[in-house]
Amino acid sequence: MRVLALLVLLLLVPASAQAATLAREGAELVYRSAPGEADDVVVQPGDPSTAPNKLFIYENGRKLVLGPGCVQGVLYPECSSEGITGVRVLAGDGDDRIIVLGDLPVLVDLGPGDDKLTSRGPTVTATGGDGADELSGEMGAGTLDGGAGGDALETHLADGSPAGPLLVAGGEGQDRIHVDGHSRPGITLTGGSGNDRFTHFIYESDHGMDVSCGPGDDRTVLRLADRMGDGCAPNVTGFTPDEVSRRFREGTLPVPARVEIVFRRRPGGGSRPAEVLARGVANRPAGPLRLQLKTTEAGRRRAKRDLKLYVFITTTVGGDRHTVRFDSRLR
C-alpha cells in the first residue's frame, strides 16, 4: 500500500520539478536546464587575485544538481576552469535570462521562448530559437542566430579578441541587427524574411561587411564600404568621400533607385545641432550618379568652401531603404 501511495505521489510531481544540472563534460562546462523551467543564470569567472581558475554560477531560485568539476561554494556553486575550453548553456524551453562572461568560448542554445542573452568571450555561438529574443555578444568571432520571431541582435567587436568569421542572422521575423566596435574582415549580416533594421556604430571603414536583407521591407543604415546583397537597397559605389559638391557627380548606382542626398554642417564641439545646407531628391537610373542639390537658407549663410560636412545618401528601391553617412568637405 505504501509503495502504491509513493508511486501515485511520483506521478503527481510535475516535470518542471526536475533540477537543472551543472558539470564538466569533456573539456566543456555544461549547464543543462530542467524541462519547463525559465532559467535565470549568470556564469562569470572569479577574481584572479582571490579565486583564480574558478567559474561562479548564480541560479536565481532554482535547484541545481552539481556534477564532476563543480562544488557548492560558500554562497554559490563554483567550478574549476582548469582545462576547460568552453562554456555551454542549454536553456531549453521557457523565457530564459542567461549571462555568460569571461575569456572562454561561449556556446548557448536558448530554445523556444522569449529569451535574453548577454555574453562576452573570444567567440560566441548562440541560437535564440522560436520567440522574440534579445541576443547581445561582445566577441571577436562566432554566430548570433535569432531564429524565428522578432529578435534584437547586438554585436560588439571586442578589442583584442581574435578576428574571425562572424555571422549575425535575424532569421524569420521582424529583426533589429546592430554592430559596433572596430571594423575587421569576415563579418556577415543576414536579416531573413521580415521587415528588418540594420544599424552600426563602427569606428573605421577599412573592412566592409557582407549584408543580405532577404524578403521584406528592410531599412539599413550602414557604411560606404559595406556590400549590400539580396533584398537590400543598393549602396553607391566607386568614389572617395573626401570632397563633395552641390552639383553632385560622385559614384555609381548599381540599379535604378530613388536617391536623396543631404549635406549637413559638421559642427565643432559644443556647437548647435547640424544644419541642413543642401538637399536633392530624384529617381535615377543605374550608372553614374548625377544630382543637383538645392541650397537651403542655412546653406546660403554658410556658402564658404572647405566647409566640414556630414553627407547622407539614401537609396530606395520598392520598400527597401538604405542610408550611408560619411564626413566630407564642401568643394
Q: List the domain boundaries for the chain.
A: 17-228, 243-330
Stretch 105-128: mean pLDDT, rounded? 97
- Residue 99: CB atoms within 10 A of its CB come to 17
Cβ pair 325, 312 in contact under 8 A: yes
The CA distance from 269 to 133, in Å, is: 38
Give pTM, 2 decimals: 0.90
- Mean local confidence (pLDDT), 241-247: 92
Task: Write down the CATH number for the domain with range 243-330.
Answer: 2.60.40
Q: Which residue, among 270, 269, 260, has the nearest Cα to 314 in the 3D structure?
A: 260
Strand partners for 254: none
Tens digit of pLDDT for each residue in 77-87? 999 999 999 99
User: How sure is the predictor about 159, in pLDDT bands with cuts at 50, 70 and 90?
Assistant: confident
What value does the mean pLDDT take over residues 198-210? 88
Residue 208 clears pLDDT 50, i.e. is over it: yes
Q: Which helix (H) or strand (E) segment is 244 a member of?
A: strand 243-244
- pLDDT of 7 higher than 70: no
**Whole-number pLDDT of residue 269:** 57
Please compute the mean of the pLDDT values over residues 263-283 and round it to a whole number: 83
